Amino acid sequence: MSAPRPAASPTGTGALGVLFTVVFLNLVGFGLVIPLLPFFGESLGAPTWQVTLMFSAYSLGQFFGEPLFGRLSDRLGRKPVLLLTLAANAIGYVALAFAPNIWIAITIRLFTGFGAGNVSTVQGYVADVTPPERRASRMGLIGAAFGAGFIFGPGLGSVLTRPELGQLGYQIPLFTAAGLAALALVGVAVLLRESRARAAPEAPRTPFLAGLRRARANPVVSRVLLVTLIYMAGFSGMESTFAFWTAARYEWGAREVGLAFMVIGVVSVVTQGILAGRLARRFGESRVLAAGCLLFGTGLVAQVVSPAESLVVVFMGLGAFGMAMTMPNISAMISRAVAPDEQGAMLGLNMAASSSARILGPVAAGAIFSAVGHDWPFLIGALFTVPAAMMALNADARKIKSYMPYA
């Protein structure tokens, strides 16, 4: 039985250029919506714990979508999966604009999250057209596209969001996000070539539970999945409560929150586009991953103890620098540690771990914010970055003597 073979070789740099643009457009739409969600939820009369459920519902959808679409992209090809998920994104944004209450909004976010489960497919495409020794660098370039989208998205959202206009003030940015997702869909349809041939009909499938068992048996992948689970819970907890935290401390609104999130995008672009690959080649992927976890935790603590409002953005930048070093190195470590025909499935499991953390993180952070205090979601998230860093160091394949990664 034959596994999918690479399709008739798309040019690596040309395909990545198209993919970079598509990811950028999609993430502008995603980043545009994130800062306005807390205020959109409040406009529906929802308390903090219900608003944070919109973040968790999106991630719950991704939890199921990522491994499914990752496996489908291994079997059917990357391009059809990207087309399907981008279409679901556009529909989800339009539906959210007309949500009459918070529970309908949460349900729509669940659907949109399922449709947004295409990150592992993007990473699988990069792995298809990139030699192993350059994957950390090129995963960093795609991460930079995510970051670039997160520069313009929150900034655009802060300009387009007009609470004084009522429902229309939130519909305008949501319609814009839908339009950007549709534009990305057209870009994939017209410009992106398939990187994998369709699998033969008799090719074996890898069910979700079987994939989990294979991931547990792989000493690199199993450790890296735990790193993703731990650090992402801290980030998503911060992300979902940041607007409420700054409102409580500094009386910030959607504009200030959107501009603050732009800092994460700027730092991510510079770090992932220029530094991540070079640092990984010099110090090793696992060490750079561990350092990134610790720097992110340091940034969270620094935000809490910040002596001045103006320094909050500086400390967000420090945490963003650490975060930007995590994703490309995790993706590269997984792609080097599994066979080519399992890359989509294993990268999908990693995104499922990320989604699991993004389900639990906002729920826990919202409860802690309301019951204990507004600083504690940040402090607890920072605490968990220490075991994440230790797990990252233990995921170094060179130290696992009985294991030979694919490279």
**Dist CA 199 CA 221 (whole Å):** 24
Mean pLDDT across 95-122: 88
Is residue 298 very low, low, confident or very high in pLDDT (cuts 50, 70, 90)? very high
Cα four-point dihedral sign 18, 321, 120, 380: negative
pTM of the shown model:
0.67
**Dist CA 354 CA 330 (whole Å):** 11
Tell me how many helices (H) and strands (E) the chain has. Answer: 17, 0
- In the chain, % of residues over pLDDT 90: 16
Instruction: Answer for the pair 152, 268: CB distance below 8 angstroms, yes or no.
Output: no
Instruction: Answer for the pair 330, 49: CB distance below 8 angstroms, yes or no.
Output: no
Is residue 404 very low, low, confident or very high in pLDDT (cuts 50, 70, 90)? very low
Which residues, other chains included, contact 184 with Cβ-Cβ below 8 Å and sequence gap of 6+?
Answer: 22, 23, 25, 26, 29, 86
CB atoms under 10 Å from CB of 404, counted, come to 9
Per residue in 115-160, pLDDT (tens digit) is 877 877 887 888 787 777 677 677 777 777 777 777 788 778 878 8
Distance (Å) of CA 28 to CA 23, 86, 231: 9, 13, 23
CB atoms under 10 Å from CB of 371, counted, come to 9
Out of 10-24, 232-246, 263-277, the most confident range is 232-246
Q: What is the reported pLDDT for 406? A: 52
Is residue 253 very low, low, confident or very high in pLDDT (cuts 50, 70, 90)? confident
- Per-residue DSSP letters for 287-339? HHHHHHHHHHHHHHHHHHH-SSHHHHHHHHHHHHHHHHTTHHHHHHHHHHHS-
Per residue in 186-219, pLDDT (tens digit) is 888 888 888 765 544 444 455 656 777 888 888 8
Q: What is the reported pLDDT for 380? A: 92
Q: What is the reported pLDDT for 198? A: 54
Q: What is the reported pLDDT for 22? A: 77
Q: Is residue 84 scored above 80 in pLDDT?
A: yes
The rounded Cα 319 to chain-centroid distance in angstroms is 15
Could you tell me the two tokens for 321? 């620098």
Q: What is the reported pLDDT for 149? A: 76
Instruction: Label residue 351 exposed, middle or buried (CB < 10 Å: 0-12, 13-18, 19+).
Output: buried
Q: What is the reported pLDDT for 12? A: 53
Could you tell me the two tokens for 397? 């394949």
Q: Is residue 102 scored above 80 in pLDDT?
A: yes
Q: What is the reported pLDDT for 207? A: 60
Write down the residue that tokens 């995790």 correspond to: 330
Q: Is residue 397 scored above 70 in pLDDT?
A: no
Per residue in 311-359, pLDDT (tens digit) is 998 999 999 899 888 878 888 888 888 887 777 778 778 877 887 888 8
C-alpha closest to that of 25 among 152, 122, 111, 123: 152
User: Is pLDDT larger for residue 86 or for residue 354?
Assistant: 86
Mean pLDDT across 273-277: 78
Total count of residues recorded for the chain: 407
Q: What is the reported pLDDT for 35? A: 77
- Per-position b or e across 147-158, b if 16+ CB within 10 A of its CB: bbbbbbbbbbbb
Q: Is residue 367 scored above 80 in pLDDT?
A: yes
C-alpha closest to that of 162 among 149, 150, 175: 175
User: Is pLDDT larger for residue 2 or for residue 118?
Assistant: 118
CB atoms under 10 Å from CB of 339, counted, come to 9
Write down the residue that tokens 């640092």 correspond to: 279
- Per-position b or e across 189-210, b if 16+ CB within 10 A of its CB: eeebbbbbeebeeeeeebeeee
- Mean predicted lDDT score pLDDT of the chain: 81
**Dist CA 198 CA 78 (whole Å):** 10
What is the distance in angstroms between the CA of the first residue and the CA of the last residue of the chain?
23
